[in-house]
Amino acid sequence: MLAIPDGFRTNLRSHADDADDWLGRLPGLADRYLAAWRLVRDGNHVWHGYVGIVIPVRLPDGTAAALKISYPSPESAHEAAALTVWAGRGAVRVLRADPARQVTLLERLDNTRLLREVPVPQAIRVWGELVREMSGPVPAGPHAFDSLTDLARRWQRELPERWDRLGRPGPSWLLDEALAVCREAACGDPVSAQSNPALIHTDLHFENILATPDGTRWRAIDPKPLLGVAEFAVAPMLWNRLGELGGGAESLRTRCDALSEAAGLDRDLARRWSVAREVENHLDYLESGLPGNATRSLWVATALCGRADPDVDPAGLATL
């Protein structure tokens, strides 16, 4: 019987109102897929994030694999589809999937070797290589991926409303910066939205990149896919590991430029989309009652614009 870690229970309860009901059914769900896919558990340990649990398993031929079961939610709904598109190019490979139940059998990676343990300059190079690998065109045919153009149109409409409702929690020029890039993308600007968009991993940060078992390569996990420009993917690498910046706001802008160069991206567009994402994060954190995270997002956004409070130490805002 699957033993559910207390940390996963806590994470999921903060995310879903019906968490306990789903958690009660999780052991039976795991047993069902272990039997149906002829898998054998590889030890009693499990790994987990906020909405998904990963069970180490062995295939009938003894190959190591990982059975991932996610709480059914929109943010995880297209994970298997995205990984199938990438087919091992920069991302973990799918061996089998039941997208309707958000259950996926994946190749086994080394969960003890995350990119967060690698010095930032080297990690930036790894990140850039993965973005280049994963930025190919999406195969023709029907798909359910959201587009950056549609997201920009929604943000263009919603951000001012949320900003006013929350009492205008920041300088007005910062909201204007976020809306400007959204406006360009919403109008179909070929640079900001890209006429032939790539499938991008919008949550590609230090903890979502693991080494292969032989240690020779790195692979992305837990994608939140979106059709758009890869510049939109830079932001998560900026709001993490702030304690290692050293030079404050200027160092953050230098990191943004280095990420763009490593992945072959437009520096200005990467900065502008990162500002927009952090403005949206700032509002989301305030709405969720997380003022500390909101302060971090506000600092990152203003720092990228060259207008951060010089008295704020980013190390005090760090999460990773």
State the catalytic residues.
Answer: 203
Q: Which two tokens stand for residue 254?
A: 């230098």
What's the rounded Cα separation, in Å, for the pair 221 and 206? 11
CA dihedral 263, 256, 196, 91 (to 10 degrees): 50
Say whether 78 sits in a helix, a strand or coil. Answer: coil
Backbone angles phi, psi at 53, to 5 degrees: -120, 140
Q: Which sign, positive or negative, has the C-alpha torsion 120, 121, 126, 130? A: positive
176's enclosing H/E stretch is: helix 172-186
What's the rounded Cα separation, in Å, for the pair 272 and 119? 26
DSSP 309: -
Q: Report which residue type is found at 113.
A: R
Angle at the Cα of 254 (from 252 to 258), degrees rounded to 5?
A: 115
Strands 52-58 and 64-70: antiparallel
